[in-house]
Amino acid sequence: MRGAPRRRNSRDRGRRDARPAARPEIIVRRPLRNGRLLAWLVLQQAEHCDLFLQDLMADCDSECEMSSADRALAVDLSYGVMKRRRTLDHLIASRLQRPRSQTEPELWQILRLGTLQLLVGRVPAHAAVHTSVELCRELGQDRWTGFVNGILRNIHRLFSEEEATGPSSTTLPISAGRWIRLNEPLLTDPLQNRAEWFGQCFSLPSFLAERWAARFSIDDLVRLGFAASDAPVSSLRVNLLRTTREEVLQLLQGASLKAEPGHLPCSIRLQRTIRPDQIPGFSEGLWSIQDEAAMSAAILLNPQPGERILDLCAAPGGKTAHLAELSGDQAEIFACDISERRLAMIGSTTGRLQLRSVSTQLISADGTDIPPGPFDAILTDVPCSNTGVLGRRPEARWRADEESLEELIRIQTRLLLQAVERVRPGGRIVYSTCSMEPEENEGVVRSVMSVLKDWSVSSPQQHLPGQPADGACQILLTRNS
C-alpha cells in the first residue's frame, strides 16, 4: 500500500485532551547522544503529529551524535513502545495508586520505555530501571526519579521466572513465540472474552481486536499477534537484469551478512535488519529492499516487453521498479502519484537500478489528470489501512477506526473505477492492498464489478502476516476481449 491517509484516532485525541494542561518545562539538549533519549523524543513528537516514526527519526538524525548501536537502540525502543502501547499502559496502570490523568504524559513515556525493556528482557532488570531513572535526570526532572524507580520495580515483580507456553490471563507474549508468566491475572481470560484478551495481550485497539477475534481462532490470533509485534523480516528483491540471486548471496556472505534464498526466485531473506546502504550491491543497483508479499503484486500483473503499463499509486517506487525489471525494461511504464516529493523517490530508485522504461507524472488527489490510456495493464496498489503490515508500520494500528475505514473504501473504489476506464479490451488490472480487511479487498472489487459486464475476476491472492512475509491481498481483474 502506498499513500494511506495519515489521521489521528479521535478517541486517542480525547484521552490526551482530558489530561491537565500544565506541563513541566523540558529542554532536550542538542546534539542527542543517547539512544533512549532519542526514542523518548521521537515518541513524544509522535503524540502530537501524524508523521510515521521513520520520518520523525530521519528528521532527528541531523541532531544526533551517537553510535550506530545507540541509533539502533532508539529505533528498537520507539517501535517497541508504539507497537505495545496498550499492553504497556495496562501494566503501568495496574501499579498506580492514582488515575493516569494525574501523571504527566512526558513521565508516562519514560515508564513505557522502562516497562518495555523489563518485558522483552533484552537488558537486565536493574539496568532497565537504572537507565529509566537516568533518563529522568537527563530531562532535568529529578523529582520523577523516585516515582519511576518504584513503579518499574513493582512491574518487574509481576514477571515470574516460570516458563509460559500460551494464552491465558497470566501470560504475555515477548517475541518469536515466547511467553512470560505474570504473578497476577492482569489480563482478561481469553475463554471469556477473546477480543478483549487479544487487544490487551497483543496491544491492538478494540476496533481491530474485535474484528479479528470474530474471524480467526485463538491459534490464528496468536500468530497474527506475534507478526504484529515482532520485528519484520527483511527481504531483498534481486534485480535480475543486472545480476543473479546466487551472486548477491555470495556478496552478502563475503560481507559476513547471514541470508538465505527466499520463497520467490528473485528474493533473499536477511537474518537481521540492516541499513540498505550498508549492504553490498546497493549503489550498483543489484537489488531493492522489498517484502515478498509486495513482490507478488507485480508478478501477478505479469508485465511484458512492449506493453503500456500504468502504476496508479506508484510512490515510493518499489513495485514500479519491479514492473520494469519483469518486463526486461522494455515496457512503457507510467508511474503516478499525488506527491511531488514521493515521485522524486521513484526517480531515485529507478536511477539506482539503471531502469529506463519508467516515466513519472504528478496527478491531483481526485485523479482527474491520470493518463487516459488505453493501457495493457494497470497496477492499482491503493491506499489502505495497513493492517497486514502492523509489524512494519506500528502507528497504523492506532489510526484504524470505522470512520477511517469507510473513507479508505471510498478512495479505493474511486481508484479502481478510474483504472477500469483505462484498460484496453483483453487488458488486466491487479488490485492490491496490504490490508487484511475484507471490505477493502474483495468488498471493493465486488462493488466495482457489480456495475461492469465484461470483466472476469480471479480468486484473491491473500497473504497473512508472518506466513512467511507481510500481510497483503492481490486480485487479478481481466477485461474480456
The CA-atom distances, in angstroms, between 32 and each of 15, 38, 91, 429 are 30, 7, 29, 48
Q: Are strands 179-182 and 332-337 parallel, antiparallel or unpaired?
A: unpaired
> Which of 136, 313, 384, 434 is flagged as catalytic?
434
C-alpha cell at 456: 472476469
- H runs (alpha helix) in 399-438: 402-420
Phi, psi of 429 (to 5 degrees): -130, 140
Q: Is 64 a catalytic residue?
A: no
Name, in order, each residue with C-beta under 8 angstroms of 57's C-beta and a sequence gap of 6 or more. Answer: 38, 42, 74, 75, 78
Task: Spell out the alpha helix ranges (H) of 159-217.
Answer: 194-202, 206-215
Report d(CA 253, CA 256) in Å as an integer.
5
Query: Which run of H or of E encompasses 253?
Result: helix 245-254
- Tell how strand 455-457 and strand 375-381 pair up: unpaired
Please provide residue 341's backbone torsions phi and psi, each rounded to the nearest 5 degrees.
Answer: -65, -40
3-state helix, strand, coil in the chain (%, to 5): 45, 15, 40
Q: What is the dihedral of CA 132, 137, 139, 145, to 10 degrees?
A: 60
> What is the dihedral angle through the alpha carbons of 130, 136, 141, 142, rounded to the nearest 10 degrees?
10
CB 364 within 8 A of CB 356: no
Contact criterion met (CB below 8 Å) for 85 and 12: no
Catalytic positions: 434
